[in-house]
Each structure stands twice: as C-alpha cells, then as structure tokens.
Amino acid sequence: MRSDLTKKGIERMPNRALIYACGTTPEQMNKPFIGVCTGFTDLIPGHIGMRRLERKIEGGVYAGGGAPFIFSVPGICDGIAMGHIGMHYSLPSRELIADMIESITQAHQLDGLVLLTNCDKITPGMIMAACRLDIPTIVVTAGPMMSGHHKGKKLSLVRDTFEAVGLHQAGKLSEQEMQELELEACPGQGSCQGLYTANTMACLTEAMGLSLPGTGTGLAGTANKERIAYNAGKRIVSLVNENITTRKIVTKESIENAIRVDMALGGSTNTTLHIPAIAHAAEVDITLADFDRLSHETPQLTSLRPGGDLMMEDLEWAGGIPSLLKELSPKLNKNCLTVSGYTIAEICKNAYEPDRSVIHSLDNPVAQEGGIAILKGSLAPEGAVVKTGAVDKSMYSFTGTAIAFDSEDEAMKHLMDGKVKPGDVLIVRYEGPKGGPGMRESLALTSAIAGLGLGGGIAIITDGRFSGGTRNLSIGHVSPEAAEGGPIALIQTGDKIHIDLPHRKLDLLIDEKEMEKRRSSFKKPAPKFSRGWLSRYERLVASAAKGAVLLPPEC
C-alpha cells in the first residue's frame, strides 16, 4: 500500500506515533488509509448538507475494511460571489483545490480517496487532483436542490431571482413580489435546481465513470443520497485492493462519453473549460474540436432549465443518468470501466426505461444536434462557445452592431440605463482568464437582459464566461482573449458582427487592412492585480481554449 511509506518499518516509529495520536488503532494501522476530502462549508447551499454525508462515507469505509481520514478544501458559491470582486476568485479556486488535494494526499501517502463535492469549481478541481495523483478515487456529489414553490409555481434560482432583477427594472415585478421570490426560490440544501454548471458536472462525472450510478441526479438531503455516500465509502476499499486507479477510468473514450452526455443534456458551457482541464490532468488529448465533433453527432434529448422548464428533480425521477446512457448507448463507448465495477454497457442494460416526457428518444430528440456549439472565425480564431440549446432558433443567424465595453460592469450600467436596443451586439472584453483575471461569470448581465425581454433581439459576446443558467444568444470564451491582443480587443463600437450557429461562424466584418491597422496600435493593458494570488494566476493561466489551466512559465 502507498500508506506503508508512512507506517511500515522501524524508522517509521515517529510517524506511527503521530498517526496513533489521531485516534488510530493498531488494527486500523494495517488497513488501507482512505482520504475523505470534503468541501463542507456553511457558505454554499450545495455544501451545507455534507456533514451527514461525511459520516455515511466514513461508515462505508469502515464497513469495507479501510481506515477513513477526513480533510477539507474550501469552496466558493458563484451565485454569492457574482457581480463584485469575489467573482475574480471563482475559476482560479479550481486550481487551488486541485493543488491542496494533491498536497495532502502525497504528504500523507493516502491509498485512496472519496471526494465529496457539489458546486461549480469544486467538482472539476477535485477531479483534476484525482487525475494527477492516479490513485483509486470515487466522487460523491451532494445533489441538486429541490425546486422552490410560490403560489403554485415551481421556482429556481436563476429564472426567479437573477432574471427577476430585469423584470423589476422593466416595471413587471413589485418590491413585495421580489422579496417573496428571494425567500422561496432556494428552499434549502443542494446545488441550483436547473442544468447549470454544478449539476452538469455532477452528471458528467457519473457518465465519465467516477461516481456510482445514480449519484449525479440523486437529490440533496434524501436517504437515497446518504445510501450512495455509504456505498461509495465501502466501494473505495475494493478499488484500492483491486488497484483500479483514476486513469483507468478517465480515458479518452470515457471523456468522450461524458461530452456526449453533455450534448444530450444541453449542459453548461463551463464544461468546455472543465473537461479539457480534467483531460490535461489525465494526460488525455481533448480539445474544443472534440466538443464540436461530438455535438454534430449527438442529439439533445432533454430540455431542462435554463433552456427549458424542467428541473433536475424531473431528470432524477425520469431515471437519471443511467436511463439517459441507456438511450444514448448506440453512440457510447460501452466498454469503459466505472468505479462501480460495471462497464457502461452493463449500466445501460440494468437502467430503467427512460420517462419520455423528460428524456426523449434518439428518434424524437429535442434538437438534432447537441446543446453546445464551438464557433470560429475572424473574431474567434481559436474558438468561442455558445449554448445552442438555450438560443431561440430565430437567432441562429444574426448580424448586429457592436457596442464595445472593456468590462462587464460598463455593460451592466449601459443596460440598466436603458440604452440597449434590438440589433445590438454587446462586446464584453478584458474578462478572460488573464484579462479578468479569473474569467468572471456574467450571469447578472445575461439574466437582466432576459428579464427585460431583450433576449430575442440582441447578442452578447465576451472573452469571459457565462453561468450554466444563461440563455439567449450569449457567446463566451472568445479566444484569443482581449488581454492577449485577440481580435475581440480590436472591435470598435459600430462594427458589424455576424453570427451563424449552424455553420459555426463568428466574424468581425471589417477588412484585413483595417484589422492590421488596429492590431499595430494595440497596447497590452496593465495587470489588474499586482499582489496576491491573482497576480500569479494571471501570469500562468492558459487560454480558455485550453481549459484555462495553469502552465509553467516556459509554456
């Protein structure tokens, strides 16, 4: 066992003394040491219920014949960090989480890991660590929040609070109604109720094979979720004994399965950051081109919020990810192994028949292609990302007039001043991985636009990113970003922009001579942070097209 490095041999007597000081018994000293890494915090609704799940995992590890050791990592709630300086720290926290888990696991030479996670950057950060370490690992996601209810109507965070800001601004929602919504939209523990980033990543983690069947959609606060946690704790010991490590699960084929599930769900665009980052950690070659290829081949089979009206609870009751995999099985790599010990083929065979009111058939899809598209063109030579599943088909081809802003805050003020009109293309730049830094999420802006009823006539283009809750024609992750001198930095208010989703095109309609003139006069902006963690992050972060991972300076 890996842990023998810390506990075997006469020279490890001091090490053993310290381990015994933690309450470990001589009997446990001979068992696999299992790290139970928890993201528990009182600051994130998706994580507040983890104390009970920690105990269940711990009990499962004991039952499986292992010795559990709990340690923790921090987490950020994107919704709470939204709209102020805090959002600069959200995406970078993914790297810190991966580094912390790597550090603890290597320092203590743990034999296996159970990673207890739920929300946006915590889940990919944990998986990145597991792929780097390549030891037996199971991921337990704490589950989606139940929908809120008010006056007979189902509520969710994004549509009924973020978009309510725009409704109030338009005079369609009173102060009293706003107060009622903010009290009822989020009834308790769990990740936000729609197919936003946290829930998308939970589903893809299961599809990738790193979670037990049923984990991705198992609802927060339920006995079912506690049983899943217990079984994960028990199963991890078997994985250690069988030496089934993370990279035996996370392969090119299993990642492609996850991307296909993403397309079938119409999931969050943030997966185009997180999946390449996970692949990078696993040393698997996955690029944005793979997303686009698989999107062309995979129909969208569900229509959850934000694009549709269904919630995660509906997907759970319709059979969850196993039933979705069953429907997708003709397109999947079915020999992929999972942490359950079953292959994808075996999981599909044992899954329930899908509820067709939620999970459509391949013959009768929601859309013929997947819910995410990768655009390229003179405005985005390295690519940009759009959630096609949340765009009205009337906006699939659109030409508009650029209104350029050098920050999200400038664009938000312009919107709230009532200056946005149909035909506008809001260019929000210097919000990329380096320029942000940290690629702030623009949910407040896109939600306000939806609430104001402007979504059908305008577009937003940014080198930053959007929440999984964003809908309408919102294009993000434009690469190269403005801070690197990409074409988005050269746009001037009044330029024409052409967007063509079916043909995957995003073009700035100016001639090459004018483009070269602007390029020659471009000056790289000064860093926004001169001290602290973000000043280091800005220097080392790669482009969004590469997953915004941190690279050594020479890269």
**484 three-state secondary structure:** helix
Are 238 and 341 in contact by the 8 Å Cβ rule? The answer is: yes
Handedness of CA 274, 280, 281, 284 (dihedral sign): positive
Gap between the Cα atoms of 422 and 364, Å rounded: 34
Are 480 and 489 in contact by the 8 Å Cβ rule? The answer is: no
- The question of whether 521 is a catalytic residue gets the answer no
**169 three-state secondary structure:** helix
Total residue count of the chain as it appears in this document: 555
Are 82 and 226 in contact by the 8 Å Cβ rule? The answer is: no
**420 three-state secondary structure:** coil
The conformation of residue 359, written as its DSSP 8-state character, comes to S
Quick check: bond before 437 cis, omega within 30? yes
- Catalytic residue, from 156, 467, 474, 479: name it: 467
Closest CA to 141 of 157, 128, 126: 126
Residues forming beta bridges with residue 508, ordered by sequence position: 497
What value, to the nearest 5°, has the Cα angle with vertex 145 and ends 144 and 146? 120
Q: CA torsion angle for 243, 247, 250, 253 (degrees, to 10)?
A: -100
- Structure tokens that stand for 324 in this block: 């979705």
Alpha helix stretches (DSSP H) within 307-442:
312-317, 320-328, 344-350, 408-416
**398 three-state secondary structure:** strand
Other CB atoms within 10 A of residue 252 CB: 15
Residues forming beta bridges with residue 285, ordered by sequence position: none
Are 166 and 451 in contact by the 8 Å Cβ rule? The answer is: yes
Backbone angles phi, psi at 382, to 5 degrees: -100, -5
Map tokens 């995957």 to a residue.
504
Gap between the Cα atoms of 113 and 250, Å rounded: 15
Continuous segment of H or E residues that includes residue 5: helix 4-7
Are 26 and 18 in contact by the 8 Å Cβ rule? The answer is: no
Other CB atoms within 10 A of residue 1 CB: 17
Gap between the Cα atoms of 318 and 10, Å rounded: 57
Residues known to be catalytic: 467
